[in-house]
């Protein structure tokens, strides 16, 4: 099995964001019938999901999570060397959504930014990419954002609409070889954007 060594690159913090709007058993029963919904809940345990409003996007969820993370950790945004956005529901085809977030978050112009189109294994790929890039560079910090608005892809009348919700997370990486310091500090923040 392949492996890679990224000693000294650590997670400094994590923040998450979910939309305030939820869809539950009652709404799903109107679409799919109460028998199907009851069977689905029995098999999965999923009773409700967070859903974006029509105008909310994956970048909105990632933005809220990242801003909360920056505020809680008092990070100097000018020291972010890389932004990787993992999503299968980007806001635009072009430009990549990571560049839109770079501007919106006020990250430096020399910050490397790109999208990674991955689903279930997306965090694992993003984590490996971020740690690898930081291990061979002089970056002090890197920002990984994972965000999905699956509801916009699955459609209202697909049974997948009962399985996949909308959410975003921001993960800040630090380079202990440059910054010094010891173990990983993990901060879990749950933010609820309402617009």
Is 45 inside any structural domain? no
* Residue 130's CATH number: 3.40.47.10
Closest CA to 78 of 107, 99, 112: 107
Chain-centroid distance of CA 117 in Å reads 12
Is 44 inside any structural domain? no
Q: Is 133 helix (H, G, I), strand (E, B) or coil?
A: helix
- Residues 194 and 77: their CA atoms lie apart, in Å, by 25
Which residues touch 39 (CB under 8 Å, ≥6 apart)? none
Is the model's pLDDT at 30 over the cut of 80?
no
Q: Is 120 helix (H, G, I), strand (E, B) or coil?
A: coil
Is 2 inside any structural domain? no
Range of the domain at 155: 9-21+52-191
Query: Would you place residue 162 in the very low, low, confident or very high pLDDT band (cuts 50, 70, 90)?
Result: confident
Q: What is the pTM of this model?
A: 0.86
- Residues 98 and 21: their CA atoms lie apart, in Å, by 25
**Number of domains comprising the chain:** 1
Read off the pLDDT of residues 71-92 as tens digits, 9 standing for 90 and up. 999 889 999 999 999 999 999 8
Is 137 inside any structural domain? yes
Is 13 inside any structural domain? yes
């Amino acid at each position: 099995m392949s492996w890679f060594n990224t000693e000294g690159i650590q997670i400094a913090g994590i923040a998450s964001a979910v939309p305030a709007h939820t869809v539950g058993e009652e709404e799903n029963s109107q679409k799919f019938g109460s028998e199907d919904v009851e069977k689905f809940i029995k098999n999965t345990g999923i009773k409700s999901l967070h859903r974006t409003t029509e105008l909310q996007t994956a970048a909105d969820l990632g933005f809220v999570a990242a801003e909360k993370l920056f505020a809680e950790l008092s990070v100097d945004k000018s020291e972010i060397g890389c932004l990787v956005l993992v999503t299968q529901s980007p806001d635009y085809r072009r430009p990549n959504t990571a560049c839109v977030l770079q501007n919106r978050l006020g990250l430096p112009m020399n910050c490397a930014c790109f999208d990674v189109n991955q689903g279930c294994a997306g965090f694992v790929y993003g984590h490996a990419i971020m740690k690898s890039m930081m291990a061979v560079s002089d970056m002090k910090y890197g920002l990984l954002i994972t965000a999905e608005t699956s509801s916009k892809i699955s459609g209202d009348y697909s049974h997948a609409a009962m399985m996949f919700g909308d959410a975003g997370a921001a993960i800040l990486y630090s380079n202990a070889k440059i910054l010094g310091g010891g173990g990983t500090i993990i901060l879990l923040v749950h933010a609820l954007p309402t617009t």
